[in-house]
Chain A
């Protein structure tokens, strides 16, 4: 199963329509999408506007691949659970977000070799197909909690 999520801050029709087309192309693979208030009419995927954290975890953990906007919640969860993830950033230049922080996040995490990023339809399609065939895998994983440096600094500050 491929799980697609666009977060809670508005729709992301460009990603949803690309994934809907891919779902049509790959009918043997189930696609599940959290689409927010999308104006695009989904035809080939099981979809929800929003899902609560419990259900989100259910789809997230059973997915083979996660395709997501560049939201930190999903990115951190993927790194924590060692899930193959492809990030497709929302672009302010296309009116998909208020500023280009998703683009900046995607570029930075890509440069750190933490995860795979696609910036257009063709590359996204190619990377998903490579992941399905096992050529592309997870790049990085993290523990359950923040770095010991940050935890330690907070503990010190709380106790003084």
Chain B
């Protein structure tokens, strides 16, 4: 299986890397919003994508187009993301090509799901929260990135 793992720079990315053992035995490709992060996944294919948030609509559209292009070219079987907005774009693009999509909401969302998380929970094939009290029919709790 070809797996595309996407996360914004910073905490989202650190959380994504902690999921790596789950992808063993598959072709794993990474994408993030800072070029220099390629150094943290040496030996893997890495693509940089533009950052975006809902606070800047123009950047949001540009980011969506770039993520769509990447996913239409790569055609991964599975897309997994720990957020934030560019990860949500990955989920949307993934649905369009028929990939299996997984959202892991950031552990930083302790009281509410993120805005992206709320949207992702309705469209991803599987969504996880990292806090048991935030789980519901749309989003599962099954441990966290901490061990």
Q: Which residues of A contact B (CB under 8 A)?
A: 7-9, 52-54, 70-77, 79, 98, 101-102, 104-105, 108, 142-155, 157-158
Q: Which residues of B contact A (CB under 8 A)?
A: 1, 3, 9-15, 18-23, 26, 36-37, 39-40, 55, 78, 80, 100, 102, 104, 106-111, 125-126, 128, 130, 140, 142-147
Kindly provide the distance from the CB of B1 to the nearest chain A CB, expressed in whole angstroms.
7
A-B contacts, 16 of them at CB < 8 A, read A7-B10, A8-B10, A72-B15, A72-B107, A72-B108, A76-B18, A77-B14, A79-B146, A146-B145, A148-B143, A150-B19, A150-B145, A152-B22, A154-B102, A158-B1, A158-B22
- By the criterion CB–CB under 8 Å, are B143 and A150 in contact? yes
Task: Name the A residues within 8 Å of B21 (CB-CB).
Answer: 145-146, 151
With A and B bound together, what is the CA distance between A144 and B143 in angstroms?
15
With A and B bound together, what is the CA distance between A72 and B23 in angstroms?
22
Task: Name the A residues within 8 Å of B80 (CB-CB).
Answer: 154
Kindly provide the distance from the CB of B14 to the nearest chain A CB, expressed in whole angstroms.
4
Kindly provide the distance from the CB of B53 to the nearest chain A CB, expressed in whole angstroms.
9
User: Known contacts A146-B143, A146-B144: does B11 contact A154 (CB below 8 Å)?
Assistant: no
Q: Which residue of chain B has the shortest Cβ distance to A102 in the bound complex? A: B108
With A and B bound together, what is the CA distance between A74 and B78 in angstroms?
28
- By the criterion CB–CB under 8 Å, are B19 and A151 in contact? yes
- By the criterion CB–CB under 8 Å, are B39 and A52 in contact? yes
Task: Name the A residues within 8 Å of B14 (CB-CB).
Answer: 72-73, 76-77
Task: Name the B residues within 8 Å of A73 (CB-CB).
Answer: 10-14
With A and B bound together, what is the CA distance between A24 and B130 in angstroms?
41
With A and B bound together, what is the CA distance between A72 and B9 in angstroms?
11
- By the criterion CB–CB under 8 Å, are B111 and A146 in contact? no
Task: Name the A residues within 8 Å of B128 (CB-CB).
Answer: 150, 153
User: Known contacts A148-B147, A150-B143: does B26 contact A158 (CB below 8 Å)?
Assistant: yes
With A and B bound together, what is the CA distance between A105 and B142 in angstroms?
19
With A and B bound together, what is the CA distance between A102 and B106 in angstroms?
12
Interface residue from A70, A72, A149 paired with B143 (Cβ < 8 Å): A149
Task: Name the B residues within 8 Å of A79 (CB-CB).
Answer: 146
- By the criterion CB–CB under 8 Å, are B146 and A155 in contact? no
